[in-house]
């Protein structure tokens, strides 16, 4: 039996469809992961094969003014899960990097987060590695699904309401269908070795800007909204985002024998679910 935290989010929902009765699912209403005593009590006398921690504070801009709460969810909650659960698969982010690379980031590349979100997620990674007996950290990026709030749903909504949109073209990464990530996690679970402590990268394949992604969403959704490319400086946000956060996925593909679809295929699958 597995435990999935953040079970009602994008990734948690995808995992529910795949793991079904092989896991127990908890969300905020069921368990406050930022309460160490509550986590300790909940995990006492339970022997989950792995905790899959999908819970995160993901409001990147809001986190700049809400650092304490972001740290509680992104850094302390993973610490408690690792400390009392001991075996964990923890989801992290491309935002632990500063985006100054000119080639896809490897797991060993130095982290240098630009935002509170990125900093607290990096703290969570370190806490998991320091406190768990077995720890798999999977960094992902630009996650979307038919559930919850995300870029795809926002673009479809705005694309249906407006004749044109401005979208940044100088932030480059890879969109990732949450179901593709969930599938990779399920494939990896039986292959994890006791005592293993590793960081892996997973996104869908390919590279694009938010502008390219928005155009593809409009095209596949058959919306006539014109998308205009703009620079990040023309769309200022409270949090600084990496200009280049493409992740190298060679390690996870080799280690767990995973085949990864292109991001455009992932988008097709997602839109079919709407």
Active site (catalytic) residues? 117
Cα 94 to Cα 121: distance, rounded to the nearest angstrom: 10
Cα 147 to Cα 111: distance, rounded to the nearest angstrom: 30
The single residue listed with the structure tokens 């593809």 is 216
Q: Which of 54, 127, 104 is nearest to 245 (CA)?
A: 104
Distance of CA 3 to the CA centre of its chain: 18
- The CA-based dihedral angle spanning residues 40, 121, 138, 249, taken in that order and rounded to the nearest 10 degrees: -170
Q: Any residues with CB less than 8 A from the CB of 270 and at least 6 apart, and which?
A: 144, 145, 146, 152, 177, 179
The single residue listed with the structure tokens 């590279």 is 207
Q: Which of 123, 98, 127, 92 is nearest to 112 (CA)?
A: 98
Q: Which residues pair with 198 in a beta bridge?
A: 136
The single residue listed with the structure tokens 């800007």 is 209
Phi, psi of 187 (to 5 degrees): -70, -35
Token pair belonging to 67: 């650092």
Token pair belonging to 31: 């368990």
């Amino acid at each position: 039996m597995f435990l999935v935290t953040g079970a009602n989010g994008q990734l948690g929902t995808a995992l529910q469809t795949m793991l079904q009765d092989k896991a127990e699912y908890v969300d905020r209403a069921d368990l406050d992961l930022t309460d160490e005593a509550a986590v300790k009590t909940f995990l006492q006398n339970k022997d989950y094969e792995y905790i899959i921690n999908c819970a995160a504070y993901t409001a990147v801009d809001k986190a700049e003014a809400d650092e304490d709460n972001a740290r509680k969810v992104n850094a302390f909650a993973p610490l408690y899960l690792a400390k009392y659960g001991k075996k964990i698969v923890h989801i992290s982010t491309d935002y632990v990097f500063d985006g100054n690379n000119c080639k896809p980031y490897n797991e060993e590349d130095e982290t240098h987060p630009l935002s509170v979100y990125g900093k607290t997620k990096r703290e969570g990674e370190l806490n998991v590695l320091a406190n768990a007996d077995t720890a798999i950290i999977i960094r992902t990026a630009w996650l979307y699904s038919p559930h919850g709030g995300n870029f795809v749903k926002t673009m479809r909504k705005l694309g249906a309401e407006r004749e044109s949109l401005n979208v940044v073209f100088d932030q480059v990464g890879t969109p990732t269908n949450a179901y593709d990530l969930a599938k990779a996690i399920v494939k990896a679970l039986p292959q994890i070795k006791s005592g293993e402590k590793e960081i892996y990268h997973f996104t869908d394949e390919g590279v694009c800007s938010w502008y390219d992604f928005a155009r593809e969403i409009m095209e596949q959704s058959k919306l006539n909204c014109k998308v205009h490319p703009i620079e990040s400086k023309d769309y200022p946000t409270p949090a600084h985002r990496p200009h280049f956060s493409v992740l190298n996925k060679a390690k996870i593909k080799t280690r767990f024998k995973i085949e990864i679809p292109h991001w455009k295929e992932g988008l097709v699958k997602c839109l079919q679910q709407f």
